Chain A
Amino acid sequence: MGKVIVVTSGKGGVGKTTSTAALGAALAQRNEKVVVVDFDVGLRNLDLVMGAERRVVYDMVNVIQGDAKLPQALIRDKRLETLFLLPASQTRDKDALTPEGVEWIVGELKKYFDWIICDSPAGIERGATLAMRHADMAVVVTNPEVSSVRDSDRIIGLLDAKTLKAERGERMEKHLLLTRYDANRAERGDMLKVDDVLDILSIPLIGIIPESTDVLKASNVGAPVTLADARSAPALAYFDAARRLAGETLPITIPGDKRSLLGKIFGRKAA
């Protein structure tokens, strides 16, 4: 049976979709069968980031309403054999998702895939609660700034209350993915530091993704950053995060501490 991961944050624009695509592609490169599922009905984006927007015929709502079979809605990635996308509907809203429909779809996907990565919409309403409902573990995407941290805290509370796992009295495994981290700005105090965020959220850290133009570049060409430029700093950080998701123990490096070439250049500039 596959593992269901929800990528969630509460706040919008922090990098949920980017992270879903990057982690999905990173796991698929380990030759594991991965499906990334877009729960953002009405405001879908994952198809764009995956570069599959012109191949969407059926979507999750079609499957829930019985207009299409699940395999018809799944889109196989052109670059990775083991990576699939289940797109959301753009013409509907979140009310088109029913709890029973989502439960059935997740149940079916678990039979065929090793990883089901659910890209949650922002907010704490229906779409977000349905995306997290069947998760085995959660990746909480947070930017190092106060509003994102507080929203993440709220989401962690919901993960511990409104998911099936929580209702069965089990513990939801939660991991913090800190995105758009800029070591120099954190040093100057413009951004929260890693320790500050960990202190507030008190869940284990799965990775720190440095702020980088590579991420935007990858999105614009329609490729997960772990496929577009596998040797870029954010891609390496996502690869490590994926390995930690898969259960490996790796030391976490805070970008900037290691003084990468990029860090050196910027570090001098700032000094």
Chain B
Amino acid sequence: MVNTFFIKMTKVLTDAPTIRIKGRSFLAVVLSPDLPLDEWLVRLDDLAARSAGFFLGRPVVLDVTDLAIDKLQLAELVAGLGQRNVRIMGIEGARPSMLGPGMPPLLKGGRPVSEMEQPPTEAAPTEPKQHPKKATAQEAGSQPQSIVINEPIRSGQSVIFPEGDVTVVGSVASGAEIIAGGSVHIYGALRGRVMAGSVGNSGARIFCRKMEAELLAIDGIYQMAEDMAPALRGQAVQLWLEGDMIMAETLS
């Protein structure tokens, strides 16, 4: 370690309270309707009759992947669910053109979780299968706490790993992003954006062989390329958080 640079936030950021941007993951119930929709809604009513308030207070995502419906039918479906007090917070698998203003936003990149327990049923289970289940602490403990990626991260790709550290053996391109719950290690040039400690880990750090990042963030404190000390450009750098300030130093 040769030099220590204290990177000052821009004046605006130090004078005004900083804006914290964080990643956080929530478990959502995913409803995957099938055709014909009116029959499916009847089965949904049946489920709701057995356990009132099953959807109450839960984030619900509508998965319409492979469902042959058009924009109008989708709007009707969302309205129909609304009448049943099922409020849809996002839609998965729809074409952007199917979602006009007033419709829930499009969601992407959902990962399946093991089946969610359903209210007791006597009849054959006719419900959609993709009910996620709350991950227990135990399950979280058994998951890997770090991932290693042996390829460059290309423009437009995003790596989201809230569980822990991300190591990339290769470069992160301009327009690519990495969001990690823990630290991020890049054995290559960092030209894209990295958000470390995204789930509230202020001890997370960012390491890279060649600093050319567009945006960096640790625990929601972020910094744009133009606010970075020019002397860090092109250098091997590590970054960490002290209070509300991102600190950086070159690695030798």
Q: Which A residues lie at the B interface, using CB under 8 A?
A: 124, 150-151, 153-154, 156-158, 160-161, 199-200, 202
Contact = CB atoms under 8 A, between A and B. Distances in A.
B132 interface: no
B106 to A, nearest CB: 16
B69 to A, nearest CB: 17
Contact of A150 (B151, B152, B173, B189): B173
Contacts of A160: 151, 154
Given A157-B176, A200-B189, A200-B191, 13 more contacts: A124-B156, A150-B173, A150-B174, A150-B175, A153-B156, A153-B175, A154-B155, A154-B156, A157-B154, A160-B154, A161-B157, A200-B171, A202-B152
A157 B170 contact: no
Interface in B110-148: none
Contacts of B189: 199-200
Contacts of A157: 154-157, 176
Contacts of B155: 150-151, 153-154, 157
A128 to B, nearest CB: 13
B143 to A, nearest CB: 22
The 6 nearest A-B residue pairs measured at CB:
A157-B154, A153-B155, A154-B155, A154-B156, A153-B173, A157-B157
A160 B170 CA distance: 15
B173 A200 contact: yes
**Chain B interface bracket (under 10, 10 to 19, 20 to 34, 35 or more):** 10 to 19
Nearest to A202: B152
Interface in B184-236: 189, 191
Contacts of A151: 155
State the majority secondary structure of interface residues on A: helix
A154 B171 contact: no
Contacts of A161: 157
Interface string B156-181: 11000000000000110111100000
A151 B173 CA distance: 11
A151 B175 CA distance: 10
Contacts of A154: 154-156, 175
A21 B16 CA distance: 58
A223 to B, nearest CB: 35
> Among B151, B155, B189, B191, which residue has the most Cβ atoms of chain A within 10 A?
B155
Nearest to A159: B154
Contacts of A150: 155, 173-175
Contacts of B156: 124, 153-154, 157-158
24 contacts: A124-B156, A150-B155, A150-B173, A150-B175, A153-B154, A153-B155, A153-B156, A153-B173, A153-B174, A153-B175, A154-B154, A154-B155, A154-B156, A154-B175, A157-B155, A157-B156, A157-B176, A158-B156, A199-B189, A200-B171, A200-B189, A202-B152, A202-B170, A202-B171
Nearest to B175: A150
Of B152, B176, B189, most buried by chain A (CB within 10 Å of CB) is: B152
A126 to B, nearest CB: 11
Contacts of B176: 157
Most buried by A among B151, B170, B171, B173: B173
Residue of A151, A158, A200 with most partner-chain B CB within 10 A: A200
A154 B152 CA distance: 11
A97 B173 CA distance: 31
A8 to B, nearest CB: 13
A169 B174 CA distance: 26
